[in-house]
């Protein structure tokens, strides 16, 4: 869509230089970039304004926008940060936006400040209005005062093949000095990504990404960088601020000048304006509760940090830590502008448009979504031979676009430490079986012989029955369940002096990715495979081969160490490593060890027929039975001494706890000592199975002579094209037989023969 010359002035009056050097010969200027000026009296916004064509507080004509920036561009999602939130934050904090815009398509203009251009001086005073408040939609008239100018020239025309954007990365070491990035440095994206001279290693943080146009004003010269000016360059938005409307319903929220301070370059990612206010410097009027704000043009991988704060001044900066996704994220952001672009200086200066390191943003119905071509593919792009006025994009009748970004994330998280009323210990085998449990024998023996056992128990263990001190004992076949420094096990107030480590509450364990390789050539036969994922303790999950073939699957375990439950999280792994959780399976991986003791009150009442010595022994040794109850299978009635021996007996019996799943049941059924059970028998059998997640494949048998089959049948396909592109046995349908003379009957015969199979 061509620029509306009724608003922006006739093209013959557009300034046809791209530098501020008037030495360019007139005959060469046709190749250059053209500018319309807001302060060029005869053909600018002022003229439009005075003629009533661009009134104040009305959207400016969008025809300057040669393409639309898609929903993928950060320019469609400006983030606004309230100054009050900034002032309340601590230096180093990441700030959260109070509002994020959401445009499906963003129209824009490239503008360049030129307040020092001598010929402007005569207009400085002429452009002020009485109130100096020319809030309008950009391109801007900006804030007005008599001495400084924010009035901008805007790019009204350029040939795509003479406007090459070179991408620059503004990097630093991650620290801030006086609120500004320390030793900030600007390098090309190529040099940064390839760590030339160690720049990325020494400065692994980025605070801005910009582009600098390179143009060639003479066919015999290399391209030159467009000159910077003191006011720098800005990308102005021509659309409404979509934060809402005033209470009166009128859309009084407007854009104005969007400035940035990046060495005279066009900002791609970073701070858009130093400080927006409801006044006209930014030209944006927003809800009164957010009267002063900061704007950032950044995707979600970036953040805005508070870098300096004193009594009357705050400073903030956009920051991103480098990672392997930075390069592609940056390339795609630039590609939205539909320009030829490169990450390398030499290509910007002299690279041909079909050079392998020259890229071109792909426009779909005039919208840039971040895709780009390179090398020979660039010749297929309409920009190869067109100017900014020739693109078939109408900002007033934009195409329907999918507003969804499809960049969602699904991930698991570590839980915060949960406070509990119990102490939890991770104990090794030796300490548990040979140190702790035998030690429990001695606890009650420490009681004063004259002291009532119940009182001793209460005083020492805080409970009537010492066994109640132990909330649970679990055996888990899980790695690294401990955290922190070693300690000793305490029961109530009693310190057993047995060493143990504090136990974690939960574990999140990544079992890794597994790539499911197609073994038959990645064709339909591979999709006949049945894939089952065995998950220890959790069962099995079926994986759809149509989804997972030639892709990676990830398994992550979430284990709750307080209850022993576990959940296996199965995720599809995308090309960029991003995970989408597709299935979960849960189970129990803990074996609750029945820890029993004698229920004293019940025992007393049930053993009234037993001999006095046995009874007394039982009462006094109630706690001694604690450590070896699992071995106590003998009846008290039959052999009191033997039973006592069994109870006292063997720490060896402890080993039986987890080696026989029937002990708990047997005890319940056979013992006549009233046991108090804590916990129930748990998932022993799960631990007896495979403990690695395992993929099981069930493949059909493939056994045939491939060449013979191909020659007599061909392989099933569904392609369209010229028959000359195929050979051998071929079956063709829907063939277009135009272009040669044959009778209708002959053509029918040809169609029939092609459909039944011919040899080309």
Partner 1 sequence: MTITFYQSPDDPRTVNKTMNGIGGGEQTLSASVNNTEDTISLLSPSFIVASNSNYFSATHIYVASMGNRYYYINNITLMTGGKMLISCSIDVLKTYATSIILCKGTILRSESVGNPTMIIDGRLPIQTNNRIIDCDNFPDTPFTLGVNVSPYILSTIGGSSL
495-554: which residues touch partner 1 (CB under 8 A)?
495, 500-501, 503, 507, 509-514, 520-521, 523-525, 527-528, 530, 534, 536-537
Q: What is the C-alpha to C-alpha distance for residues 533 and 696, in angstroms, rounded to an integer?
A: 6
* Contact call for residues 716 and 710 (beta carbons, < 8 A): no
Binding to partner 1 (CB under 8 A): which residues in 574-603?
589-590
Decide: is 476 part of the binding site for partner 1 (CB under 8 A): yes
Binding to partner 1 (CB under 8 A): which residues in 680-709?
687, 690-704, 706, 709
| Cα torsion through 517, 519, 524, 529, rounded to 10 | -80
Q: What is the C-alpha to C-alpha distance for residues 85 and 695, in angstroms, rounded to an integer?
A: 51
Residue 47: CB minimum distance to partner 1, A:
56
Q: What is the C-alpha to C-alpha distance for residues 114 and 155, in angstroms, rounded to an integer?
A: 13
Residue 748: CB minimum distance to partner 1, A:
9
* Residue at token pair 């180093």: 92
Residue choice 255, 425, 572, 623 for contact with partner 1 (CB under 8 A): 425
Residue choice 475, 548, 623, 626 for contact with partner 1 (CB under 8 A): 475
Residue 422: CB minimum distance to partner 1, A:
5
Residue 734 in tokens: 């829907």
**Piece of the chain touching partner 1 by CB under 8 A; list 30-38, 194-202, 557-565, 627-635:** 557-565
| Cα torsion through 28, 33, 39, 42, rounded to 10 | 60
Residue choice 259, 315, 388, 460 for contact with partner 1 (CB under 8 A): 460
Going from the C-alpha of 163 to that of each of 31, 85, 213, 342, 350, the distances in angstroms are 10, 41, 6, 11, 12
Exposed, middle or buried, 138 (CB in 10 Å: 0-12/13-18/19+)?
A: buried
Q: What is the C-alpha to C-alpha distance for residues 659 and 591, in angstroms, rounded to an integer?
A: 11
Residue choice 30, 88, 434, 471 for contact with partner 1 (CB under 8 A): 471
Residue 750: CB minimum distance to partner 1, A:
5
Residue choice 429, 485, 575, 744 for contact with partner 1 (CB under 8 A): 429
Residue 172: CB minimum distance to partner 1, A:
37
Strands 99-100 and 79-82 come out as antiparallel
Give the burial string for 406-422 (b: 16+ CB within 10 Å, else e).
Answer: eeeeeeeeeeeeeeeee
**Piece of the chain touching partner 1 by CB under 8 A; list 92-100, 222-230, 307-315, 417-425:** 417-425
Query: Judged by CB under 8 A, how many residues of this single chain contact partner 1?
Result: 125
Residue 743: CB minimum distance to partner 1, A:
7
Residue choice 154, 461, 548, 572 for contact with partner 1 (CB under 8 A): 461
Choice between 323 and 731, CB closer to partner 1: 731
Decide: is 35 part of the binding site for partner 1 (CB under 8 A): no
User: Nearest CA to 275 among 288, 264, 291, 252?
Assistant: 291
Residue 238: CB minimum distance to partner 1, A:
44
Choice between 668 and 723, CB closer to partner 1: 723
* Contact call for residues 208 and 326 (beta carbons, < 8 A): no
What stretches of 218-314 show up as alpha helix (H) in DSSP? none
Decide: is 572 part of the binding site for partner 1 (CB under 8 A): no
Residue 711: CB minimum distance to partner 1, A:
6
Residue 553 in tokens: 């699957």
Decide: is 722 part of the binding site for partner 1 (CB under 8 A): yes
Residue 625: CB minimum distance to partner 1, A:
19
* Contact call for residues 531 and 575 (beta carbons, < 8 A): no
Choice between 310 and 734, CB closer to partner 1: 734
Q: What residues have CB less than 8 Å from 317, skipping those under 6 apart? A: 176, 179, 180, 181, 207, 271, 304, 305, 307
Binding to partner 1 (CB under 8 A): which residues in 430-449?
432, 436
Per DSSP, 626 falls in state G
Decide: is 415 part of the binding site for partner 1 (CB under 8 A): no
**Piece of the chain touching partner 1 by CB under 8 A; list 54-62, 129-137, 177-185, 740-748:** 740-748
Q: What residues have CB less than 8 Å from 576, skipping those under 6 apart? A: 325
Decide: is 710 part of the binding site for partner 1 (CB under 8 A): yes
Residue choice 561, 585, 644, 663 for contact with partner 1 (CB under 8 A): 561
Choice between 613 and 709, CB closer to partner 1: 709
Residue 437: CB minimum distance to partner 1, A:
10
Residue 664: CB minimum distance to partner 1, A:
17
Binding to partner 1 (CB under 8 A): which residues in 203-232?
none
Q: What is the C-alpha to C-alpha distance for residues 731 and 729, in angstroms, rounded to an integer?
A: 7
Choice between 105 and 435, CB closer to partner 1: 435
Decide: is 757 part of the binding site for partner 1 (CB under 8 A): yes
Residue 427: CB minimum distance to partner 1, A:
4
Give all strands (DSSP E) within 132-245, no chain letters.
152-157, 164-172, 176-177, 180-181, 185-188, 205-215, 224-225, 233-237
């Amino acid at each position: 869509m061509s620029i509306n010359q009724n608003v922006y002035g006739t093209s013959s009056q557009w300034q046809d230089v791209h530098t501020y050097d008037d030495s360019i010969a007139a005959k060469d200027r046709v190749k250059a970039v053209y500018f319309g000026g807001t302060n060029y009296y005869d053909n600018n916004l002022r003229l439009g304004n005075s003629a009533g064509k661009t009134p104040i507080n009305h959207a400016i004509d969008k025809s300057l926008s040669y393409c639309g920036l898609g929903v993928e561009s950060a320019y469609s999602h400006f983030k606004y940060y309230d100054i009050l939130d900034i002032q309340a934050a601590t230096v180093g904090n990441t700030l959260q936006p109070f509002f994020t815009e959401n445009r499906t398509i963003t129209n824009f203009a490239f503008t360049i400040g030129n307040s020092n251009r001598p010929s402007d001086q005569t207009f400085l005073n002429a452009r002020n209005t009485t109130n100096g408040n020319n809030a309008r939609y950009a391109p801007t008239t900006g804030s007005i005062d008599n001495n400084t100018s924010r009035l901008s020239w805007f790019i009204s025309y350029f040939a795509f093949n003479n406007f090459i954007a070179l991408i620059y990365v503004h990097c630093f070491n991650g620290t801030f000095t006086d609120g500004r990035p320390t030793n900030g440095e600007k390098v090309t994206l190529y040099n940064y990504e390839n760590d030339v001279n160690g720049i990325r290693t020494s400065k692994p943080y980025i605070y801005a990404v910009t582009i600098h146009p390179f143009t060639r004003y003479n066919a015999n010269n290399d391209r030159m960088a467009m000159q910077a000016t003191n006011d720098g360059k800005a990308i102005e938005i021509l659309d409404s601020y979509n934060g809402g409307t005033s209470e009166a319903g009128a859309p009084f929220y407007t854009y104005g000048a969007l400035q940035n301070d990046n060495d005279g370059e066009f900002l791609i990612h970073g701070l858009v304006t130093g400080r927006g206010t409801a006044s006209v410097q930014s030209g944006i009027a927003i809800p009164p509760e957010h009267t002063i704000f900061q704007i950032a043009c950044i995707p979600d991988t970036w953040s805005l940090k508070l870098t300096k704060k004193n009594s009357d001044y705050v400073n903030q900066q956009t920051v991103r830590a480098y990672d392997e996704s930075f390069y592609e994220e940056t390339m795609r952001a630039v590609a939205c502008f539909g320009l030829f672009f490169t990450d390398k200086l030499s290509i910007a200066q002299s690279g041909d448009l079909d050079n392998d390191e020259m890229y071109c943003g792909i426009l779909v119905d005039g919208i840039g979504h971040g895709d780009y071509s390179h090398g020979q593919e660039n010749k297929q792009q309409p920009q190869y031979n067109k100017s900014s006025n020739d693109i078939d994009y109408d900002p007033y009748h934009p195409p329907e676009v999918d507003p969804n970004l499809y960049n969602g994330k699904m991930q698991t998280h570590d839980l915060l430490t949960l406070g509990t009323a119990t102490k939890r210990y991770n104990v090794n085998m030796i300490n548990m079986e040979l140190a702790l449990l035998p030690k429990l024998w001695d606890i009650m023996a420490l009681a004063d012989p004259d002291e009532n056992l119940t009182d001793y128990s209460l005083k020492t263990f805080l409970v009537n029955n010492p066994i109640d001190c132990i909330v649970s004992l679990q055996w888990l076949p899980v790695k690294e369940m401990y955290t922190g420094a070693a300690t000793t096990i305490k029961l109530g107030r009693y310190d057993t002096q047995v060493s143990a480590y504090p136990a974690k509450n939960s574990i999140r364990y990544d079992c890794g990715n597994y790539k499911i390789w197609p073994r038959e050539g990645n064709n339909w036969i591979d999709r006949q495979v049945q894939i089952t994922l065995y998950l220890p303790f959790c069962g099995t999950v079926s994986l759809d081969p149509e989804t997972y073939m030639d892709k990676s699957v990830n398994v992550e375990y979430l284990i709750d160490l307080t209850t022993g439950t576990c959940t296996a999280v199965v995720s599809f792994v995308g090309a960029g490593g991003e995970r989408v959780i597709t299935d979960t399976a849960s189970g129990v991986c803990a074996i609750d060890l029945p820890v029993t003791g004698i229920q004293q009150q019940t025992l007393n009442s049930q053993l009234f027929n037993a001999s006095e010595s046995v009874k007394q022994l039982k009462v006094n040794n109630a706690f001694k039975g604690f450590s070896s109850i699992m071995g106590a299978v003998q009846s008290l009635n039959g052999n009191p001494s033997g039973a006592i021996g069994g109870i006292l007996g063997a720490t060896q019996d402890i080993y039986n706890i987890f080696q026989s799943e029937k002990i708990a049941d047997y005890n319940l059924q056979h013992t006549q000592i009233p046991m108090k059970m804590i916990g129930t028998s748990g998932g022993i059998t799960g631990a007896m199975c495979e403990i690695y997640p395992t993929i099981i494949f069930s493949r059909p048998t493939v056994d045939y002579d491939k060449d013979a089959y191909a020659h007599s049948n061909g392989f099933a396909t569904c392609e369209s094209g010229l028959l000359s592109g195929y050979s051998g046995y071929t079956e063709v349908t829907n063939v277009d037989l135009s272009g040669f003379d044959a009778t209708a009957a002959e053509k029918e015969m040809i169609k029939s023969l092609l459909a039944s199979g011919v040899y080309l």
